[in-house]
Amino acid sequence: MSGDPAIDVRGVSVTFGRRPALESVDLRVEKGDFYAVIGPNGGGKSTLLKVILGLIRPSEGTVMVLGGTPFERRHLLGYVPQYRTFDFSYPVTVGEMVLSGRLGHIGGFPRRYRQGDRVAAERAMETMGIHDLAGLEICALSGGQQQRAIIARALVGDPEVLILDEPTVYVDTPTGEHFLDLLTGLRRQMTVLLVTHDIGVLSSRVTKVACLNRCIFTHETAEITGDMLEGAYHCPVDLIAHGLPHRVLGEHEQEERP
Amino acid sequence: MISVLALEFFRNAIIAGLLASVACGVIGTYVVVRRMVSLSGGISHAAFGGIGIGYYLGLDPLLSATVFTVAVALGMGELSLRRKQNLETVIGAVWATGMALGILFVYLTPGFAPDLFGYLFGNILLVPREDLVLMVALVAVILVVVALFFRDLFAVTFDEEYAQVMNLPVERISLLLLALVALTVVMLIQVVGIILVIALLTIPAAIAREFASRLWRMMALAVALGAIFTVSGIVLSYILNVPSGATIILVSAAVYGVVMGFRTLAPGR
């Protein structure tokens, strides 16, 4: 059981209508990885995450999560959905929203929060630095604070794997850096898999990188090779050395948007 | 005014209005936060089909409407869950089909349908005592179910996808919510009629949303507002001798308009 990879995606294809979103994608995330999947918008990144979470059934291929099917194991995953798809107009406080992330661990009927759940919520909010905002309604927060609240909700379930969809979209660059430090801190406790179209968020903190544009291009290190980028973005891109500022793709991304 | 309260029909009307306010405040809150307003509109108009069938088969129209409406609501829920159909299109079809079925069955029923107009536009001043008992039972069911499933309903209406990841029974909870909407709609038919149901379901909750920061507070405020609107609407319609359902809706809409006007002029949030 402990030898199982955190996430093992094999030959997964997904088709929406006639349009293929993913084509025989393989992705193996080991426990303790800080894995980044990059790729252009519309390249299937969110789809891949939803397949891993058991929200989309692949037309081909298999997905194993922590040695089981996504349905058996997904309550052990912490999911941070894309910020812009999130509905912040719901009447709920930050504290309640974060606490609701415990519901997957609460059996019984009717479901009730216990002391331990409240303690876990406090801790998750402290980790994300939004402890003092607990009583506020979520629509009263700034974009960055809202993003932290979504992550806190994912952390409150003590996930073994944290899965983030475009976590830095609405975080400005200084905060973005701090934000990555936060994720790096979390990494010591859990496996992290994030997808982003923003190659600028990548840094020496990431242990593995893959490029996804319908097909996946992997490299078992944190290095992004020219082949991978060319394959994923369909255009020659200057080779980006590990650890240097990666601003090159910022410009390409505009052209690649369908 | 006091002497009017001694009249049984008037007392019944006030009680019916208050019961309906409880149901529409609680369920209307979910309708508003989950953005199922047009879905609820479709469900309420489909109810007319149930009423027509009731007439045709010689059953109590309200009873057949209850069964039919819950079935339609669950069917629409299944359809939207199973196949990612464009729900808006399905709603439009169900909306009109329900009405068409109602019209057809009423036409096929021999004789004259005396209180058809009442089902369409409501007639709270004619609520009989037996219907009050039925309404009390429905309100009790709605309150108990919402209390027991409060956290599940919250999770599913707030973020359905995340609820799925947490392995909550999302499908069953969604269908439960639709059934509750259907029951509420049937209850409101007595009060304001099929055509006006959607306003009483959404306006109190929509106003409450402007002032309440948490779900249960929004519900409580929506119930209170619904009670004020129905009671003042009944009283006004009695004094002015105009239809009660329409008066209740116009009172609600007037308050909604004033609140929204103030919000636009002085944006507080």
- A139 interaction partners in chain B (CB closer than 8 Å): 269
Lowest mean pLDDT among A111-115, A250-254, B7-11, B179-183: A250-254
Q: Smallest CA–CA separation between B151 and chain A, in Å?
A: 7
Distance CA B237, CA B232 (A): 8
Contact B123, B245 (CB under 8 A): yes
Does the CB of B37 have a partner CB in chain A at under 8 Å? Answer: no
pLDDT along chain B (269 residues), means of 10: 75 93 97 93 94 91 92 90 76 93 91 78 85 90 96 96 94 96 91 90 96 95 97 94 92 96 75
Question: For strand A191-196 and strand A34-38, is the pairing parallel, antiparallel, or unpaired?
Answer: parallel
Asked whether the beta carbons of residue B163 and residue A103 sit closer than 8 angstroms, the reply is yes
What SS3 state is found at A164?
strand
Tokens of A8: 């093992």
Asked whether the beta carbons of residue A91 and residue B33 sit closer than 8 angstroms, the reply is yes
* Domains present along chain B, CATH in parentheses: 2-265 (1.10.3470.10)
Distance CA A210, CA B268 (A): 46
Quote the pLDDT of residue A184.
79
Distance CA B156, CA B108 (A): 42
Q: Smallest CA–CA separation between A127 and chain B, in Å?
A: 21
Q: Which of B34, B154, B159 is the best mutation test for A, with the most CBs of A within 10 A?
A: B159
Asked whether the beta carbons of residue A110 and residue B212 sit closer than 8 angstroms, the reply is no
- Has residue A245 got a pLDDT over 60? no
Asked whether the beta carbons of residue A93 and residue B213 sit closer than 8 angstroms, the reply is yes
Asked whether the beta carbons of residue A53 and residue B165 sit closer than 8 angstroms, the reply is yes
- ipTM, two decimals: 0.87
- Residue bearing tokens 């859990």: A190
Asked whether the beta carbons of residue B166 and residue A77 sit closer than 8 angstroms, the reply is no
CA atoms within 13 A on the CB side of B210: 19
- A53 interaction partners in chain B (CB closer than 8 Å): 164-165
* Domains present along chain A, CATH in parentheses: 7-85+161-256 (3.40.50.300)
- Has residue A255 got a pLDDT over 80? no
User: How many interface pairs between A and B have CB atoms less than 8 angstroms apart?
Assistant: 78
Contact A194, A167 (CB under 8 A): yes
Q: Smallest CA–CA separation between B164 and chain A, in Å?
A: 8
DSSP run (H or E) holding A168: none
The arithmetic mean of pLDDT across residues A154-180, rounded, is 80
Question: For strand A77-80 and strand A161-165, is the pairing parallel, antiparallel, or unpaired?
Answer: parallel
Band (A227; pLDDT cuts 50, 70, 90): low
Contact A257, A237 (CB under 8 A): no
The arithmetic mean of pLDDT across residues A235-247, rounded, is 38
Distance CA B222, CA B209 (A): 8
Nearest beta carbon to residue B167 from set A75, A101, A140: A75
Quote the pLDDT of residue A246.
39
- Residue bearing tokens 């994923």: A232
Q: Smallest CA–CA separation between B206 and chain A, in Å?
A: 12
Beta bridge partners of A165: A195
Asked whether the beta carbons of residue B151 and residue A54 sit closer than 8 angstroms, the reply is no
Quote the pLDDT of residue B1.
56
Q: Distance between terminal CA atoms of chain A? A: 42
Asked whether the beta carbons of residue A91 and residue B209 sit closer than 8 angstroms, the reply is yes
Does the CB of B212 have a partner CB in chain A at under 8 Å? Answer: yes
Distance CA A75, CA A128 (A): 21
